[in-house]
Amino acid sequence: MKRSAHWLVFGILVLSVLSLSTASSAQISVGISVRIGPPALPVYVQPMCPAPGYHWIPGYWAWNDDNGYYWVPGTWVVAPVGMLWTPGYWGFAGGFYGWHAGYWGPHVGFYGGINYGFGYGGVGFAGGEWRGGAFFYNRSVMNVNVTNVTNVYNKTVIVNNVHTSFNGSGGVVAQPTPQEQAYAREPHTAPLAAQTQHEQAASQNRQLFASENHGSPAVAATAKPGEFSGRNVTRATAAGAPYHAPTMSPKEARGPSANAATAKPQHTPSPSNPKPAPKPNNPKKHNEPKPKPQPKHSSHEHEN
């Protein structure tokens, strides 16, 4: 009886570890891949933090198979206590741009070296920190009203003007540090329901489609998720770089599988004028009987 109980406990522990590992790796796997790169990150001002306990989620370009890239406005969300947000990022590899989803965790991990701004300069997060159960904001990069938010401090942060929106050849060349790799193995939590709903609402707003706003969305950031109008909305002041319309439709640009972008990097096509993926070879099968000679015709047949 004792031996059975021992193995039962052992089995539960093994299942728990496997479940945790699966959840952690799922958060950093490639979720979607396409043949054309995202536009540059737009230039915009951060709206005021609504209240204490809110965490900044930087804006990003997401993908829709019907309309292509669309902008998900930066926004403030109520953060899980003690948790920090690691933004998602686009990474180019193997001829495709793959999306690596963001996640909540005790530390900020690797997010492609992308300069999302407002404390997310490419490595780590300089916009604030947890002290006990309270979040303190760095006023040098966070837009907070000290009348409403008193947990503040000031620490100088070097701000750059790089607006490249993807990692890899032709974009930001960065690899995770050993520390970031360790952070990637920590338990992670998926985006909050408010974040998911915010992204879904953005996917249905035509003014957020890159094909409509040409890299400069009218709603670049919001004070709260889903608020796409009103005085707490900020519009982009400029596109991060000149916009070039894709030369293929969104359906033609869609990658073949979820993990296509994890392959070995190849040549880098232009984000706006990508080269189509090469057609697979179709070698003849061996040991096939040779066809009998046919009479000659005036026209010629070509083998594929």
Convert the pLDDT of each residue in 99-117 to its tens digit: 999 999 999 999 999 999 9
Give the end-to-end CA distance of the chain in Å, rounded to a whole number. Answer: 68
Residue 26: what residue type? Answer: A
Q: Is 176 exposed, middle or buried (0-12, 13-18, 19+ CB in 10 A)?
A: middle
Measured distance CA(87)–CA(101) in Å, rounded: 7
Give 25 or 39, the one with higher predicted confidence: 39
Which H helix or E strand runs over 230? none
Measured distance CA(272)–CA(285) in Å, rounded: 39
Q: How much helix, strand and coil, in percent to the nearest 5, is found in the chain?
A: 20, 20, 60
CB 100 within 8 A of CB 31: yes
Chain centre distance of CA 19: 23
Kindly state whether residue 30 falls inside one of the protein's structural domains.
Answer: yes
Mean pLDDT of 18-31: 40
Identify the pLDDT of residue 297. 39
Kindly state whether residue 12 falls inside one of the protein's structural domains.
Answer: no
Taking alpha carbons only, the member of 127, 135, 90, 136 closest to residue 108 is 127
pLDDT over 70 (residue 209): yes
Kindly state whether residue 97 falls inside one of the protein's structural domains.
Answer: yes
- The count of structural domains within the chain is 1
What distances in angstroms separate CA 209 from CA 114, 215, 226, 228, one per listed residue? 21, 9, 16, 14
DSSP 3-state assignment of 179? helix
Kindly state whether residue 291 falls inside one of the protein's structural domains.
Answer: no
Kindly state whether residue 243 falls inside one of the protein's structural domains.
Answer: yes
Encoding tokens for residue 5? 């109980």
Kindly state whether residue 208 falls inside one of the protein's structural domains.
Answer: yes
Measured distance CA(86)–CA(57) in Å, rounded: 9
Give the helix ranges, DSSP H, for 128-244.
178-184, 193-203, 210-213
Identify the pLDDT of residue 100. 96
Kindly state whether residue 288 falls inside one of the protein's structural domains.
Answer: no
Q: Which residues does residue 138 pair with via DSSP β-bridges, in sequence order?
A: 153
Kindly state whether residue 45 falls inside one of the protein's structural domains.
Answer: yes
Identify the pLDDT of residue 288. 42
Measured distance CA(104)–CA(224) in Å, rounded: 18
Mean pLDDT estimate for the chain = 81
Give 255's pLDDT tier (boundaries 50, 70, 90).
confident
Identify the pLDDT of residue 256. 66
Identify the pLDDT of residue 295. 42
Give the domain extent around 237: 26-115+162-257
